[in-house]
A and B are shown apart, each in its own frame.
Chain A
């Protein structure tokens, strides 16, 4: 291996000069007046947008999009730009802390990283010896830190790894898995008609997707229909907005399917050749008429009829958009499945302006019968320990269909409190703040009082970090190198997070921390690397040209033409480039073979899912169940993202806090009047779980029976000096109940209102 002598080169090569002209030509001058740009990847939310940082004399002065990614250009959102404000925030954690007071009392002793890691290793070993490795939970938001944490947890011997999925995208991810065998993407750019069920891309931003959607929405010849109980920013850009009753999207989609099937208006060829279970669907939807859905959604039957016809006319250049964590009711799995089936019936799969399978290097190499695009070595070995998970995820019981790598976070409090199926005594969290982002934090707080040992790795002393025994200060994304990530979309693509400036306080990344812990615990024999440079070289299989592109550009694509497998023009062009792929052509001149070898049990697109039906009777097909989100209360409290803040993360960052420091609850004027509330008045929002004080924001932009809160507010941690005590944490009113099949947290909840 050439890792050792390459490492220094890699460090230097990360920086490319900002001023035109080579670094060498500028000589010593460059060193005393350094002005350089480094391409990396943002982490102010979860979208992982490729970005570029400008560093002048060792200080980060500006962040923008990485134009080497054409879908990005130089664009970046407010949060992305405010990464600087986070980096230089004096309220950041800078040193490891060990608890000295009672749990949650916020009394700490500052220690060195070495002491903190030794302490963690000793404690983890103790828990393993006393209660077994499975007594320790590991959780993280998905991403590289999650990949590493999962690998570490399995090597340690615990099956209890949790990602944020069950509190966010798990319903749609399960629906993908069961219907297509993998995650699908959307081609907003080329669509002509989009039905949007609360997927608020104009507030939950992902630059390439948001940009494509903005182009679509602002184009007068295209049509966007938005269904949302609230007049969201998406709704404000739509041709038509329907303030659908919270939780009832499923009813509308079932009626849509009913109309298409009744009138024979669907892609019969696609359904017949590439899917299974249509006959069963036809029978199941006999009753779900446009008239039937009126009572549930509040939308007139004639609207369903008209929209069904318009979408069919636009097919296949149409998308019935799913979103994630959109309008979650207990029917979230069924809703997601119904939406995917609507796309299938419109025959938009692998069509431009429709939905498609991501074109990874592996896939393109297989189609072209060539190894022309680099693939990655696995850097985070994971041998699932032969142990029962605390929630049975992926193993047995109600969560048998939840991936065992992701688990059901909502099951944690009960498992800790009841000690069933076994004792849970420790929790290691990185980039995860469940006391803000997860349902019923009161119960979680009660449960974690019973743990013997908690480690939190974070940038701030968050609400969850407050409860820890050891708090590790993480390096922000601008201060750390990471490995290579596959971000393939329409074409194969890799990205890499490159360190922009040396860590300001000598803090380490989750990857480095976990790697040294693995060594201290003696569970690191399967890692093929011990530094970030070696990690990258291992992933890249020693391909230094490939690595150099990622170091300089932060993103690597390979000049592969876009390929939709059922667009004969695309296929023709691909075959011209890669003649060996001719062997795969079907008689329509497409690559249709692919639809017989999907990773589903039948190998085809599954409209009917036998595997699910066997265990959850009635759930093998979308049907009208579980849509009630009021639980008998007069109002539904809904929540969602803003373009300024991310989940439980950004609320204390100076530039973002300035723009949005509170989340008064949206309420229709009629509702406010009925309760004698004026703008800015305090009131109680209450249900069987909690009674919380909030302030009111009166607006015409919401249904009279619905309330809305931006998420992530209501922080209890005093160390978050700006955000502390401002706003309502809507999670406090949510139940720990999960949606059937997928195990999703349910974020719409029935409440009543009382005056203070």
Chain B
């Protein structure tokens, strides 16, 4: 049986410290001023009735992935487990995928001149049974990663306990990344 990977992001625990972003940069040599992963924070409301939203910005690994369907050279593809990858050897940097991605997760790596994005650290870590580096490094345990086919996994348990929010669910891209609903403070 293939893996049904899921990554959960709990904005209640996230403090926007960017440890995940820097760890991602180190792990993948992401060039200066580009990001595979960032946490964006937004202040909402009027003093003194305020709230802050925290959001993980990175590839959400769509099951119905617009980036894959628009790619003319099949550089963007899905593996046996449904993870979306980029084959750098055949990417012609046409940028269709960048325009098609509703999550603004892709960019052109100027050093390599290929399109790049989060790959759940598949090559360097997940394929070796290690957690993605963002999950492993997070100081506040705001990220969970695992296989939904495993009934005793933290992601399975949490997914069945919480009312998950799938980013831009209305687009029906069926992401493998889901957010836990905000519990405290002003609703965003």
A78-B10 CB under 8 A given contacts A236-B52, A700-B43: no
- The residue that B183 contacts in the complex, of A211, A214, A218, with Cβ under 8 A, is A218
A64-B15 CB under 8 A given contacts A655-B22, A668-B47: no
Does B118 sit at the interface, judged by CB under 8 A?
no
Using Cβ atoms and an 8 Å threshold, which residues of chain B touch A82? 22, 26
Using Cβ atoms and an 8 Å threshold, which residues of chain A touch B46? 700
Does A752 sit at the interface, judged by CB under 8 A?
no
A78 adjacent to B19 (CB under 8 Å): yes
Complex Cα spacing A676 to B162, Å: 47
A237 adjacent to B184 (CB under 8 Å): yes
Does A426 sit at the interface, judged by CB under 8 A?
no
A644 adjacent to B18 (CB under 8 Å): yes
Specify which of A73, A81, A702 lies most central, judged by the most chain B CB atoms within 10 Å of its CB.
A81
Return the CB mask of B31-67 against A: 1 if under 8 Å, else 0.
0110000000101011110111000000000000000
Does A658 sit at the interface, judged by CB under 8 A?
yes
- What is the chain A residue whose CB lies nearest that of B186? A236
B26 adjacent to A81 (CB under 8 Å): yes
Using Cβ atoms and an 8 Å threshold, which residues of chain B touch A77? 17, 19, 139
Tally chain A residues at the interface, Cβ within 8 Å. 50
Does A407 sit at the interface, judged by CB under 8 A?
no
Interface stretch among A160-168, A238-246, A311-319, A593-601? Answer: A238-246
Does A75 sit at the interface, judged by CB under 8 A?
yes
Give residues of chain B (140-188) contacting chain A, Cβ–Cβ below 8 Å.
Answer: 140-142, 183-185
Does B82 sit at the interface, judged by CB under 8 A?
no
A207 adjacent to B139 (CB under 8 Å): yes
B17 adjacent to A218 (CB under 8 Å): no
- What is the chain B residue whose CB lies nearest that of A699? B43
Using Cβ atoms and an 8 Å threshold, which residues of chain A touch B21? 78, 659
- The residue that A218 contacts in the complex, of B12, B51, B138, with Cβ under 8 A, is B12
Does B98 sit at the interface, judged by CB under 8 A?
no
Give residues of chain A (648-670) contacting chain B, Cβ–Cβ below 8 Å.
Answer: 654-656, 658-659, 668
- The residue that A243 contacts in the complex, of B48, B137, B140, with Cβ under 8 A, is B48
A76-B48 CB under 8 A given contacts A217-B184, A654-B32, A700-B43: no
Does B27 sit at the interface, judged by CB under 8 A?
yes
A75-B52 CB under 8 A given contacts A654-B32, A700-B43: no
Using Cβ atoms and an 8 Å threshold, which residues of chain B touch A84? 26
A241-B50 CB under 8 A given contacts A62-B27, A81-B22, A659-B18: yes
Complex Cα spacing A62 to B24, Å: 10
Does A233 sit at the interface, judged by CB under 8 A?
yes
A214 adjacent to B137 (CB under 8 Å): no
The smallest beta-carbon distance between A456 and chain B, in angstroms, is 28
Does A753 sit at the interface, judged by CB under 8 A?
no
Does B113 sit at the interface, judged by CB under 8 A?
no
Does A392 sit at the interface, judged by CB under 8 A?
no
Using Cβ atoms and an 8 Å threshold, which residues of chain B touch A699? 43
Specify which of B43, B48, B140 lies most central, judged by the most chain A CB atoms within 10 Å of its CB.
B140
Interface residues on B, range: 35 or more
Specify which of B33, B51, B52 lies most central, judged by the most chain A CB atoms within 10 Å of its CB.
B52
Does B16 sit at the interface, judged by CB under 8 A?
yes
B138 adjacent to A75 (CB under 8 Å): yes
Does B23 sit at the interface, judged by CB under 8 A?
yes
Does B95 sit at the interface, judged by CB under 8 A?
no
Complex Cα spacing A214 to B22, Å: 20
A243-B185 CB under 8 A given contacts A78-B19, A644-B18: no
B51 adjacent to A236 (CB under 8 Å): yes
A75 adjacent to B43 (CB under 8 Å): no
B50 adjacent to A700 (CB under 8 Å): yes
B184 adjacent to A239 (CB under 8 Å): yes
- What is the chain B residue whose CB lies nearest that of A659? B18
A233 adjacent to B15 (CB under 8 Å): yes
Does A591 sit at the interface, judged by CB under 8 A?
no
Using Cβ atoms and an 8 Å threshold, which residues of chain B touch A214? 13, 15, 139-142
A202 adjacent to B15 (CB under 8 Å): yes
Complex Cα spacing A655 to B28, Å: 13
A231 adjacent to B43 (CB under 8 Å): yes
- The residue that A655 contacts in the complex, of B25, B138, B139, B184, with Cβ under 8 A, is B25
Complex Cα spacing A739 to B186, Å: 38
- What is the chain B residue whose CB lies nearest that of A654? B32
A202 adjacent to B47 (CB under 8 Å): no
Does A603 sit at the interface, judged by CB under 8 A?
no
A643 adjacent to B15 (CB under 8 Å): yes
Does B127 sit at the interface, judged by CB under 8 A?
no
The smallest beta-carbon distance between B11 and chain A, in angstroms, is 9
Complex Cα spacing A551 to B28, Å: 29
Does B136 sit at the interface, judged by CB under 8 A?
yes
A238-B185 CB under 8 A given contacts A77-B139, A210-B139, A654-B32: yes
Using Cβ atoms and an 8 Å threshold, which residues of chain A touch B45? 700
The 4 tightest CB contacts between A and B, nearest first, are: A236-B52, A214-B140, A218-B12, A643-B17
Interface residues of B (CB under 8 A from A): 10, 12-13, 15-19, 21-23, 25-27, 32-33, 41, 43, 45-48, 50-52, 133, 136-142, 183-185
- With A61-B26, A236-B185, A237-B12 already in contact, 8 other A-B pairs whose C-beta atoms are closer than 8 Å: A75-B139, A78-B18, A81-B137, A211-B140, A214-B13, A214-B142, A236-B51, A643-B15
Interface residues of A (CB under 8 A from B): 61-65, 73-78, 80-82, 84-85, 202-203, 205, 207, 210-211, 214-215, 217-218, 220, 231, 233, 235-239, 241, 243, 643-644, 654-656, 658-659, 668, 699-704
15 contacts between A and B (CB under 8 A): A65-B137, A74-B137, A75-B138, A78-B22, A81-B23, A202-B15, A202-B17, A205-B17, A214-B139, A218-B12, A231-B43, A233-B41, A243-B47, A655-B22, A655-B25
